[in-house]
Structure 1
Amino acid sequence: MDQQYGYVRVSTREQNEERQMIAMQRFGLTEKQIVVEKQSGKDFERPKYQRLLKKIKPGDTLVIKSIDRLGRNYEEILEQWRLITKQKQADIIVLDMPLLDTRQGRDLTGVLISDIVLQLLSYVAQTEREFIRQRQAEGIEAARAKGIRFGRPRLDRPQGFEALRIQWVQGNISSRKAAAQLGISYQTFLRWAKEKTEPDGESPEKVLKEEIM
């Protein structure tokens, strides 16, 4: 006998699943038919969902309130949709979107409509992500054109840096000792020394490298 299952998922233990449960019960499912999964946003292994997938047989029906219950993004949603409808040969009903109901004709029409709607949703989501990335890139470029810097603020050179840099260039002090006096790491001292020497065209006799003095 074909079975109907409801799957309810909330992303944190603090969220309330009541809204999804009410929708499932209005559809006609009992509590025994509904699987409720609570998990953190970082953990998406969904053990109860995986166990439910193993139970689903050809001809069974999975009911979810919204399409995003199947995955974190549309690539994952499409993968799960194909797994259930194609490999498992089961039906899916999305209560928030009546067009996503593969029961409406196991012939070509119902499945075709559902697939088209899914592909459209996936395209819209992917396009929106690309638009967001494009707007971010354009915003960053515009900000840089105005002289706005991104990343960590550049540290001011501590007092005494230039005198120690000259001593280091002349070989009178190691980078580690100079850095210790300035209260910075020797890697930072070397980087600053390199920034100072290269733009001015200076050619210190020694190569900038980690010193062991």
Structure 2
Amino acid sequence: MDTAAQWAEDGDALDAFPAALSGVKIGYARVSTKGQLLDRQMTALEAAGCARIFADKKSGKNAERPELWTALDYARTGDTIVVPSLDRLGRSIQDLIAIVGGLRKRGIGFTSLHESLDTTTPGGRLVFHVFAALAEFIRELIVQGTNEGLAEARARGQKLGRPKSLTEEQIAHALTLFAEPENTVASIARLLGVSRGTLYAHVPGLAAGRASLLKIDTPKEITA
């Protein structure tokens, strides 16, 4: 299901949510560097009437936003999540839509002070519906462009896929090293600058053990 369809799957995308504002406003603030201060964001959220405010001091690219998840978990049907601006909440349009879409399903409103977006109003809901459609349109363009590029590369006879992490010479070197009992898989991997998983994936028979690689011949029994 695409992003726009997900946004509208629970009825009319422009339906009010929450249907009744019976709860409280919950603020969320975030700064991305140690040098930034939360003071201005906190002041704006307090002025907006937030009864409780959660704050993270994390980068927007950092998936670990514990206070955001606490705020979302704390909110109940009829409440409204309030942020100083959209970039304080989401790392991308898709991330923003996913979070607000989750709030919508739970009957929780969303307000962004800087952009004057309020999902409890028809105008705010319309903007988010357009955001969802735009995000899906961009995703389809990227997929289409990628597929066209791959088709052109194949037509030129270009080999696709990830290059091997080890050359044939390195593989032969690894086999030679492994023939010595004192050399472990870990030490060989460090020497070649790859992980043990890469070594196992590129060196045939390595996982079967040292004996299979050495192909030890047992002496034939002498019979009278």
TM-score normalized with structure 2 length: 0.49
Give a deviation string over 1:19-77, Cα, whole Å, max 9, x none: xx535534625998532113364534x33223323443555432213335444555554
Change (3 A) 1:123 1:149: same
Change (3 A) 1:93 1:52: same
Q: Which residue number in structure 2 is paired with residue 121 of structure 1?
A: 131
Superposition RMSD on alpha carbons, in Å?
4.6
Change (3 A) 1:92 1:149: same
Alignment of 1:66-145 (within 5 A): 66-72=85-91, 74=93, 77-85=96-104, 87=106, 89-98=107-116, 100-103=117-120, 110=121, 112-145=122-155
- Match among 25, 29, 45 for residue 4 of structure 1: 25
Change (3 A) 1:43 1:79: closer
Name the larger-Rg structure.
Answer: 1
Alignment of 1:124-203 (within 5 A): 124-150=134-160, 151-152=162-163
Alignment of 1:36-75 (within 5 A): 36-39=55-58, 41-44=61-64, 46-57=65-76, 59-72=78-91, 74=93
Distance 1:76 1:93 in 2: 16
Change (3 A) 1:91 1:154: closer
Distance 2:97 2:85 in 1: 14
- Alignment-mate amino acid for residue 63 of structure 2: D
**What percent of counterpart residues are identical?**
25
SS in structure 2 of the partner of residue 133 of structure 1? helix
SS in structure 2 of the partner of residue 52 of structure 1? helix
CA contact (8 A) 1:9 1:37 kept: yes
Distance 1:123 1:56 in 2: 27
The alpha carbon displacement at 1:212 in A equals: 7.4
- Alignment-mate amino acid for residue 95 of structure 1: L
Distance 1:52 1:79 in 2: 15
Change (3 A) 1:61 1:154: closer
The alpha carbon displacement at 1:125 in A equals: 1.1
The count of aligned residue pairs is: 165
SS in structure 2 of the partner of residue 5 of structure 1? strand
Change (3 A) 1:143 1:154: farther
Give a deviation string over 1:135-177, Cα, whole Å, max 9, x none: 223223334444544432798876xx9xxxxxxxxxxxxxx79
Distance 1:71 1:126 in 2: 16
Q: Which residue number in structure 2 is paired with residue 16 of structure 1?
A: 36
Unaligned runs of 5+ in 1: 104-109, 162-175, 191-209
SS in structure 2 of the partner of residue 152 of structure 1? coil
TM-score normalized with structure 1 length: 0.51
CA contact (8 A) 1:9 1:17 kept: no
